[in-house]
C-alpha cells in the first residue's frame, strides 16, 4: 500500500500530489492564478532560447520561486544525447538536479522512445541528476527505469495533450505493484475524473498541463483538478468496495409489514 | 567582431566576455545557461571566458512548458 501522507522522492517531500505544467496558457496572469488554484508545489518548465526582445515578459516573473519547485523538462528531444544536453543546460539555469526526462520517439504520437529514455536515465543518474522519466504504461520499462536509478516513474495515461484519460488502468496498477519508487501519471488527463481515477488506482501523483491550460476556464479547472487529486487519494486510502455483478441491498428486509 | 547569438549574427566588441555580453543583453546571469560552440559555459567562468570571432553562442532560460 502506498499510504504515505506526502509525495516523497530524492529526499524531498511535497504535500501536493498534483504537478502542473506552465505551457499553453492564454497569458501569464492566468497561468499564475491557475498554479495557485491547483495547489501544486512542483511546476514544469522548458529550456529554450531567451527572448532577446526585452519588451516581452519573462515566465519567471510570474512564478514565485520560494513557493514552487521548478521541474525542467527535456521536451522536444529525440535522442538520449539531446535530452542529456538539455538536462545539463537546465541544471545550469536552475541550479537544481531535478529533470523531467522526455525522449520522444515519434512526432505524431509523442510516445517515448524507451530505449533512448533508459540510456539517458543511466547517463543522468550517473551525473547526479534526480531523474523523473516520462515513459509509456509498460511495467517492464518502469522496472528498468527504477533499476537504472530513476527517482520516480511517470507512465502516460494517454498521448500528451490528448485528454483521453487513463487508457489502461490495469497496466498502471501492475506498474504500481512492480516498482517501489513513486508512480506519477504524466499525460493524457482530460478532466477531473481522469485525475481521480489515477489517484484511486494508488498513484502517488498526477502531472498535467493541457487539461488545465486548454480548458475554457483554466483557473476553475485547476481547482477542479486539485479537488479530484485529493478526492482520488482519499478514496484510495479509504479502500473501495469490491466490484460485483449483482445487487446487494443497502436496506434490510427486516421490519417490513407482512 | 561578429558572433552568432541564438541563431542570428551579432556585432560585439573585441574582448567581450560572457558576463559583459549578458549585461549588454540585460539578462540576469542567475537565470540563464550559456552554451559556447556546443560546450556549456559554467556560471563561475562567465567573467573569464572571452568570445572569439565566429563563436556560436546560445543563451537559454526557462520558458513555458509541460
pLDDT of B29:
85
Interface test with B, best of A29, A68, A92, A159 (most B CBs within 10 A): A92
The DSSP H or E segment spanning A204 is none
- Which segments of chain A are extended strands (E)? 7-9, 12-14, 18-21, 42-49, 69-72, 98-101, 130-135, 154-155, 184-186, 205-208
Q: Above 70 in pLDDT, residue A55?
A: no
Cell numbers of A3, please? 499510504
Closest chain A CA to residue B40: A89
User: Looking at the complex, does the CB of residue B27 fall below 8 Å from at least one CB of chain A?
Assistant: yes
CA distance A18 to B44: 35
Write the pLDDT tens digit of every residue in A201-214: 999 999 999 999 99
The residue from A8, A33, A85, A100 that is catalytic is A100
**How many beta carbons lie within 10 A of that of residue A191, not counting itself?**
15
- CA A112 centroid distance within chain: 15
Contact A46 B7 (CB under 8 A): no
For helices A114-126 and A139-147, angle between their N-to-C axes, nearest 10 degrees: 20
pLDDT of B15:
94
Minimum distance, in Å, between the CA of residue B2 and any CA atom of chain A: 17
Q: How many Å is the Cα radius of gyration of chain A?
A: 20
Q: Above 90 in pLDDT, residue B35?
A: yes
Q: Above 70 in pLDDT, residue A215?
A: yes
Interface test with B, best of A34, A55, A93, A212 (most B CBs within 10 A): A93
pTM of the model: 0.93
The DSSP H or E segment spanning B33 is strand B33-36
Write the pLDDT tens digit of every residue in A149-186: 999 999 999 999 999 999 999 999 999 999 999 999 99
Q: Above 90 in pLDDT, residue A38?
A: yes
Residue among A46, A93, A36, A41 nearest A219 (CA): A36
CA distance B32 to A50: 8
Q: Above 80 in pLDDT, residue A92?
A: yes
Confidence of residue A96 (pLDDT cuts 50, 70, 90): confident
Question: In sequence order, what are the beta bridge partners of B17?
Answer: B50
pLDDT of A214:
97
Confidence of residue A28 (pLDDT cuts 50, 70, 90): very high
Cell 512564478 locates to A63
**CA atoms lying within 13 Å on the CB side of residue A170:** 0
Compute the mean pLDDT over every residue in chain A, rounded to the nearest whole number: 96
Q: 3-class DSSP state for residue B3?
A: strand
Compute the mean pLDDT over every residue in chain B, rounded to the nearest whole number: 95
Q: Is A243 a catalytic residue?
A: no
Cell 524531498 locates to A12
For helices A192-200 and A218-238, angle between their N-to-C axes, nearest 10 degrees: 20
CA distance B62 to A132: 18
**Measured CA angle at B51 (ends B50, B55), to 5 deg:** 155
Contact A92 B64 (CB under 8 A): no
- Chain B residues close to A45, C-beta within 8 Å: 62-65
Q: What are the residues of chain A with a beta carbon less than 8 Å away from any beta carbon of chain B?
A: 21-25, 31, 44-50, 52, 54, 58-60, 70, 72-73, 75, 88-90, 92-94, 160-161, 209-210, 213
**CA atoms lying within 13 Å on the CB side of residue A214:** 14
Contact A47 B63 (CB under 8 A): yes
Amino acid at each position: 500500500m502506498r499510504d504515505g501522507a506526502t509525495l516523497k522522492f530524492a529526499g524531498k517531500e511535497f504535500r501536493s500530489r498534483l504537478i502542473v505544467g506552465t505551457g499553453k496558457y492564454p497569458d501569464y496572469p492566468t497561468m499564475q492564478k491557475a498554479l495557485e488554484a491547483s495547489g501544486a508545489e512542483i511546476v514544469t518548465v522548458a529550456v529554450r532560447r531567451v527572448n532577446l526582445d526585452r519588451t516581452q515578459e519573462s515566465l519567471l516573473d510570474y512564478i514565485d520561486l520560494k513557493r514552487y519547485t521548478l521541474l525542467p523538462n527535456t521536451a522536444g528531444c529525440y535522442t538520449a544525447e539531446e535530452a542529456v544536453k538539455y538536462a545539463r543546460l537546465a541544471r545550469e539555469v536552475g541550479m537544481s538536479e531535478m529533470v523531467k526526462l522526455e525522449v520522444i520517439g515519434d512526432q505524431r504520437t509523442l510516445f517515448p522512445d524507451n530505449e533512448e529514455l533508459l540510456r539517458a536515465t543511466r547517463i543522468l543518474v550517473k551525473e547526479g541528476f534526480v531523474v523523473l522519466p516520462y515513459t509509456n504504461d509498460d511495467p517492464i520499462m518502469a522496472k528498468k527505469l527504477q533499476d537504472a536509478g530513476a527517482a520516480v516513474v511517470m507512465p502516460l495515461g494517454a498521448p500528451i495533450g490528448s485528454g483521453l484519460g487513463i487508457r489502461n488502468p490495469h497496466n498502471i496498477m501492475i506498474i504500481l505493484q512492480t516498482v517501489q519508487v513513486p508512480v506519477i501519471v504524466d499525460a493524457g488527463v482530460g478532466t477531473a475524473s481522469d485525475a481521480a481515477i489515477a489517484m484511486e488506482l494508488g498513484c502517488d501523483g498526477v502531472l498535467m498541463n493541457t487539461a488545465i491550460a486548454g480548458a475554457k476556464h483554466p483557473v476553475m479547472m485547476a481547482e477542479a483538478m486539485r479537488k479530484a487529486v485529493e478526492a482520488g487519494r482519499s478514496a484510495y486510502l479509504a479502500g473501495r468496495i469490491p466490484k460485483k455483478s449483482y445487487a446487494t441491498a443497502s436496506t434490510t428486509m427486516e421490519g417490513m409489514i407482512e | 567582431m561578429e558572433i552568432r547569438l541564438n541563431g542570428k549574427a551579432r556585432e560585439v566588441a573585441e574582448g567581450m566576455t560572457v558576463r559583459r555580453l549578458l549585461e549588454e543583453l540585460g539578462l540576469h546571469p542567475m537565470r540563464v545557461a550559456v552554451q559556447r560552440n556546443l560546450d556549456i559555459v559554467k556560471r563561475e567562468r562567465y567573467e573569464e571566458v572571452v568570445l572569439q570571432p565566429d563563436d556560436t553562442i546560445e543563451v537559454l532560460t526557462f520558458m513555458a512548458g509541460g
